[in-house]
Amino acid sequence: MTNKKISDLTTLAAFETTDLLAIVDVSANASRKITLQNLIDYLSTISFLQDLEYIVGSTYKGVQDYVNSQQSSTYFSGGVVTENAALDGTVDITQVEGMIKIDDNDFGTIKFFTLMAQTAVALSTGDNYICIDYNSGAPEISILSSEPSGASIFIIYRAYMNSSDHMVISKCGSDFSNMAFKTQNTLEQVFGFMHGDGIVFTENGSRDRAIDVSEGTIYRGIHPHAISAKDSSVAYTISLVQSDYIIILNGAHGDVRSSFKHGQKIVINNSTATPSNDGIYTVESTVYVGGTTRVTVEELLNNDADIGDLHYDAVVTWYYNGAAWVKGAAVSLATLQWNNVASGLVTLNNNKYGVYWCYVCTSGCIMIVYGQGEYTLATAELAIAPGTLPGVLGFTGILAAKIIFKKSEANFYSITSAFQTYFPTTSPVLHNDLGSISGGAANDYYHLTSARHTEAIKLPLGATYEFQFDSTVGPVTDG
């Protein structure tokens, strides 16, 4: 045999006892011989080739130890259970590939396995747990009537069969492959956005109906999104507007570019320009030049010296005008209108209540959706959030609070956290639609007919009145 490099050993076609490799023992200055298989077997015993990093004295350190401790019995392909074509209470199971513990403890050795497809596996009437059992090294399908215990047997499917051999089959087993993806995907699909902590809405103490929000966290699956505290009353002072689209802030604020981002809604109040620049604008870009922060907006401005206030934490507002969602912004929310989705914003009648629904986006933006009804206080408290929302909220927003206000009041009636109070998800049932109550005809009063109600309200204050009840109505029930 010619001399070989170690790197060439893997190219040999087969492990033959006659395939001898000459090894020179340098210290003894003598030649020895070893088979290629002997060499591979020896290398596999060298600890540094299979050990993970470990602290001296650790009992566990090998790759197999890691797999044993981190993996459960699982399957990752095949194992599909379907009813047998004979419709005789049996099922077919496709070939299964997976890993299985060889003993019943959490740290048991885990091994790969392949279990060939099987047909006409009999089920029993009632619950059937279709499992894979290690079976002393010869994995097999096992049908149990109750959930198994132990690490060396696991469920792949569950089936229920009645006495007529009719069955319902569902996948419910230990399919733990690609677990990180499955965990994230399940959390997103089932829970969407989740509240972590903070994000408490309050009314600003110095500016009526301005919104403050405490810092907090929301999650999308396993991913946290930090929400910074918001104070919609805080503003930067404007020193000048130039070039139709550029707002120059007072140099005393320094570099505040981080307060602005492309597409953000900002509000100018108390503008001293003529005509006024008060209104809502959209940020295009920001730069820091010559000691001042300069904000370029998409809407046309009036070029003038202007010492107005630029609110960068303004809330975004939404209402539906019958054809599309309309986006706005506000520093203080008005207590004047509600959203008729057929037409747009409508002024509340006197002594009526409106609602705002408050959402937080992963970007940290606060979005307010107008309530879609005019209410009494009692019905405002029972109002439910709109079933349809602007697209951006469905993609990136979570309901955080509900505001109730009375028409033209200086302050909100209440702000309720969605994370502490469960809002109604459906409208209350009309009293006339309830069962087992007396009356029920249109304009009836409970538990008086319309005619008896008319007589009853004629009763002078302090007088007595005798009611004649119809015995055919039956007893009055609680309703």
CB 120 within 8 A of CB 92: yes
Span of 12-26, 143-157, 186-200, 240-254 with lowest mean pLDDT? 12-26
pLDDT higher than 50, residue 42: yes
pLDDT higher than 70, residue 423: no
* Domain spans, the chain: 6-45, 70-177, 196-228+315-417, 235-311, 431-479
pLDDT of the residue at 169:
94
pLDDT higher than 90, residue 274: no
The pLDDT tens digits of the residues spanning 454-465 come to 766 665 655 555
CB 100 within 8 A of CB 131: no
Q: How confident is the model at residue 35 (pLDDT cuts 50, 70, 90)?
A: low
| Cross-strand bridge partners of residue 113 | 98
pLDDT higher than 80, residue 230: yes
Pairwise pLDDT comparison (176 vs 8), residue with the higher score? 176
Q: Which residues contact 174 (CB under 8 A, 6 or more apart)?
A: 72, 73, 74, 75, 154, 155, 156
pLDDT higher than 60, residue 48: no
pLDDT of the residue at 478:
43
Q: What tokens does 115 get?
A: 């279990």
pLDDT of the residue at 245:
93
pLDDT of the residue at 1:
47
pLDDT of the residue at 10:
46
Q: What is the SS3 assignment for 152?
A: coil
Q: How confident is the model at residue 114 (pLDDT cuts 50, 70, 90)?
A: very high
Q: Which residues contact 215 (CB under 8 A, 6 or more apart)?
A: 198, 199, 226, 227, 228, 229
pLDDT higher than 70, residue 376: yes
pLDDT higher than 60, residue 468: no
Number of Cβ atoms within 10 Å of the Cβ of 263: 11
What percent of the chain has a predicted confidence (pLDDT) above 70?
77
pLDDT of the residue at 333:
94
Q: How confident is the model at residue 339 (pLDDT cuts 50, 70, 90)?
A: very high
pLDDT higher than 80, residue 247: yes
Q: How confident is the model at residue 208 (pLDDT cuts 50, 70, 90)?
A: confident
The pLDDT tens digits of the residues spanning 58-109 come to 988 888 888 899 889 999 999 999 999 999 999 999 999 999 999 888 888 9
Dihedral sign of CA atoms 212, 217, 218, 224 in order = positive
Q: What is the distance between the alpha carbons of residues 248 and 92, in angstroms, rounded to a whole number?
A: 74
CB 273 within 8 A of CB 306: yes
Average pLDDT over residues 126-139: 94
pTM passes above 0.85: no
Average pLDDT over residues 377-400: 91
User: In this structure, which long-range contacts are made by residues 210-216, counting pairs with CB atoms below 8 Å and at least 24 apart in sequence?
Assistant: 210/331, 210/332, 210/333, 211/315, 211/333, 211/358, 211/366, 211/368, 213/360, 213/366, 213/400
Average pLDDT over residues 274-289: 92
pLDDT higher than 50, residue 325: yes
Pairwise pLDDT comparison (295 vs 172), residue with the higher score? 295
The pLDDT tens digits of the residues spanning 75-86 come to 999 999 999 999
pLDDT of the residue at 431:
55
Q: How many CA atoms lie within 13 A of 367 on its CB side?
A: 25
Q: What is the SS3 assignment for 378?
A: helix
pLDDT of the residue at 464:
57
pLDDT of the residue at 173:
79
CB 133 within 8 A of CB 142: yes
CB 257 within 8 A of CB 249: no
- Alpha carbon 39 to chain centroid, angstroms: 54
Q: How far is CA 361 from CA 52, 227, 315, 332, 392, in A?
A: 42, 8, 11, 19, 9
Average pLDDT over residues 201-217: 91
pLDDT higher than 80, residue 327: yes
Q: Please name which of 325, 290, 479 lies closest in space to residue 397, comparing C-alpha atoms.
A: 325
Q: How confident is the model at residue 479 (pLDDT cuts 50, 70, 90)?
A: very low
∠ CA 328-330-331, rounded to 5°: 165
| Cross-strand bridge partners of residue 326 | 319
pLDDT of the residue at 64:
87
Q: How confident is the model at residue 444 (pLDDT cuts 50, 70, 90)?
A: low
Q: What is the distance between the alpha carbons of residues 293 and 257, in angstroms, rounded to a whole number?
A: 7
**CATH architecture group of domain 235-311:** Beta Barrel (2.40)
pLDDT of the residue at 182:
87
pLDDT of the residue at 253:
95
User: What value does the mean pLDDT of the chain take?
Assistant: 84
pLDDT of the residue at 453:
64
